[in-house]
Amino acid sequence: MSKSLYIPKGYESVISLRETQHAIKYIKDVFQQALSFALTLDRVTAPLIVRKGSGINDDLNGVERKVEFSTKESDSEAEVVQSLAKWKRLALYRYGYNPGEGIYTDMNAIRRDDDCDNIHSIFVDQWDWEKVITEGDRNIEFLKETVRFIVKTIAYTKRKLKLRYPALKSNICESVFFITSQELEDMYPDKPAKERERLITKEHKTVFIMQIGCTLKSGERHDGRAPDYDDWSLNGDLMLWNDVLDNALEISSMGIRVNAQSLKNQLETCNAMDRSRFEYHRLILDNTLPLTIGGGIGQSRLCMLLLEKAHIGEVQASVWPEEMVNECAESGIILL
């Protein structure tokens, strides 16, 4: 068996393959409409590709290889996006959005260095969203309030879904447990980060782990974060308990974005001040871009959770290792 694959004992999808296709569309229709209403977001069109060297592409942890290619009509190389964290903030500036208003979009990406397993694919699809805020909103309480809105939207979608597909049984816990990455390490100092996430989410079901990116007392990071979009003191990951996989599932990475001072501090910490030559970074450092909050919400991950699926490939068409496809088929897990 593939080391990265988990087969739940006795697993069987509670809805058919055809019902699954209908349900995916239903989830996406219900959720994005509810999210748009809850956070006051307009839907916009977003790029799949950007120019190489523009500084717009997400660097994720800084080591992932981007998908690059040349075009017939241009001398410059193009890149497939890894996320739209930077593009969204520029769009809010260009489109003239005001505090309290924001945007969301369908983001499709290819992350060629991701390992395939039950919840990871080299194809990434998520709702990327971004909202203009004021200086007074740059605090933990505003972040928590936004997280609660998102969780309520997920829970609402699950309730609507269960009315249409009564065979679905699980619920979404709407009470969010907030904890910092340092507090979590203090609770489980002898456990690795992913196991800490599993333990705290198993206990509380819906957890938001805050302040990700900075170095902990142990000398390690809870998880990697690029230095130029989230403010590491005002960000976090939303984890929901997945009964089928008996594990925590990260649904969203989000946060209040860097201002001029936090961008400078984080670039210096990562020895990445050379990025300040890019337009995006210059516009933050000179306080031209609006202050924002934003994040991504995994579309396929949300669908697999709400539909109680064992593998993200049951709700997403992608490329999987042949061994994984065969092992899943033998266990009644049909990958699209």
Q: How many Å apart are CA 56 and CA 282, to the nearest integer? A: 12
Q: Which of 177, 294, 188, 282 has the alpha carbon at shortest distance from 234? A: 294
Q: Is 233 a catalytic residue?
A: no
Other Cβ atoms closer than 10 A to 195: 12
Which residue reads 């998908």 in tokens? 67
Catalytic residue among 111, 196, 225, 257: 111
Q: How many Å apart are CA 308 and CA 243, to the nearest integer? A: 8
Catalytic residue among 128, 137, 237, 308: 237
Residue 124's contacts (CB-CB under 8 Å, 6 or more residues apart) are 82, 83, 107, 108, 109, 110, 111, 114, 298
Q: Is 277 a catalytic residue?
A: no
Which residue reads 């269960």 in tokens? 162
Strands 230-242 and 247-257: antiparallel
Q: Is 13 a catalytic residue?
A: no
Q: Is 331 a catalytic residue?
A: no
Q: How many Å apart are CA 214 and CA 197, to the nearest integer? A: 17
Torsion-angle region of 256 (φ positive above 0: left; ψ -120 to 50: alpha; else: beta): beta
DSSP state, residue 313: G
Q: Is 58 a catalytic residue?
A: yes
Q: Exposed, middle or buried: residue 170 (CB in 10 Å: 0-12, 13-18, 19+)? A: middle
Q: Which of 44, 11, 15, 39 has the alpha carbon at shortest distance from 27? A: 15
Q: Which of 35, 76, 32, 37 has the alpha carbon at shortest distance from 53? A: 76
Six token digits for residue 49 = 């590709």
Which residue reads 């925590």 in tokens? 248
Catalytic residue among 32, 181, 233, 253: 253
Catalytic residue among 79, 250, 308, 314: 250
HSE at residue 261, side-chain half, CA atoms within 13 A, is: 3
Catalytic residue among 58, 125, 230, 308: 58
Q: Is 174 a catalytic residue?
A: no
Catalytic residue among 83, 126, 181, 316: 126
For the annotated catalytic residues, the residue numbers are: 58, 111, 126, 237, 250, 253
